[in-house]
A = this chain, B = another copy of it.
Amino acid sequence: MAELSPPKAPSFIDLTFEEVAALPTDTVAVLPLGAIEQHGAHLPVSTDYLVATSVAEAAVATVAAAGSASVVLLPGLAYTKSDEHHWAPGTIWLSWETLMNTLIDIGRSLANTPVKRIMFINGHGGNSALGQVACRELHRRFGLMTFFAHPSFPKDQGGVDGVDTENGFGVHGGHSETSMVLHLRPDLVHMDRATRQVPDAMAEYKYIGFGKPVSFGWTSDDFGPGGVIGDPTGATADIGKILVEGAVERCAAAITEASHFTIG
């Protein structure tokens, strides 16, 4: 992973408190949000944490190397809101209330530094909604500029939506995620245990579903015992490399944009 983690990702926590106090006011602090949760029979429970921290660290290093913005990396959160995988041993999840209060406490602390901009780079879809709530709360209460990004971007912005065999359901442990872990930590992937689990019948619904106008509440055991929603069987490290490098590039650009972003 040397190409992802150049040694120069500047770390917030390597600083003394007086060095923190001297950071420029347009500094962007980047905080990866992972998850420790079941990812099917073939992927480690660290999957989301691994992707989020790898991409965030590399993106911060890229920005720092380019000198395009003042940026620091914060330690990521490994344990987040994985309540949809609560049933599976190995999922370690915070309640919505605990995670929200954690993010508020971090924001309150950051507001006591010159750093007034924070970007979450979130590897776990189950955090996205609460993350939006937190971004507003930190902005309103502490005056922070808050940003919420994902390693995976929409297709029309350079992202990859998965393969045809996923029928649009590559949500968890599927083609993209498996490919990224194959690239980042191939030793942790058990492709021999990878199996397709796709709710094909749900494609028939017109209004309700992933990416459809009406969302629905689900836990991952609704889709079967395997823990996967998608088709990991065709995943490769090469695809993962493309996905990860694209994510790093776009996150780095987003960090740079965030350093001078103004509302209104």
CB contact between A43 and one of B16, B128, B130, B219 (< 8 Å): that residue = B16
Cα(A50)–Cα(B77), bound, Å? 16
Q: State whether the Cβ of A98 lies closer than 8 Å to any Cβ in chain B.
A: yes
Q: Which residue of B lies closest to A94 (CB)?
A: B105
Q: Which residue of B lies closest to A103 (CB)?
A: B98
| Residue with the greatest number of chain B CB neighbours at <10 A, chosen from A13, A139, A144, A206 | A13
Cα(A257)–Cα(B215), bound, Å? 12
CB contact between A45 and one of B17, B105, B112, B136 (< 8 Å): that residue = B17
Q: Are A36 and B16 in contact (CB under 8 A)?
A: no
The count of identical subunits is: 6
Q: Are A17 and B46 in contact (CB under 8 A)?
A: no
Cα(A138)–Cα(B100), bound, Å? 18
Chain B residues near A13 (CB-CB < 8 A): 36, 44-46, 49, 78
Binds B, one of A63-71, A160-168, A222-230, A231-239: A222-230
Q: Which residue of B lies closest to A18 (CB)?
A: B41
Cα(A83)–Cα(B137), bound, Å? 8
Chain A contact residues: helix, strand, loop or mixed:
mixed
Q: Which residue of B lies closest to A13 (CB)?
A: B46
Least CB distance, A1 to chain B, in whole angstroms = 15
| Residue with the greatest number of chain B CB neighbours at <10 A, chosen from A146, A199, A264 | A264
CB contact between A136 and one of B74, B106, B219, B262 (< 8 Å): that residue = B219
Q: Are A110 and B92 in contact (CB under 8 A)?
A: yes
Least CB distance, A66 to chain B, in whole angstroms = 15
Q: Give per-residue flags for A7-23: 1 if the beta carbon is below 8 A from chain B beta carbons, else 0.
A: 00001111111111100
A131-148 residues at the B interface, CB under 8 angstroms: 131-140, 144-148
Cα(A79)–Cα(B129), bound, Å? 20
Q: Are A208 and B21 in contact (CB under 8 A)?
A: no
Chain B residues near A263 (CB-CB < 8 A): 199, 202, 216, 218, 222-223
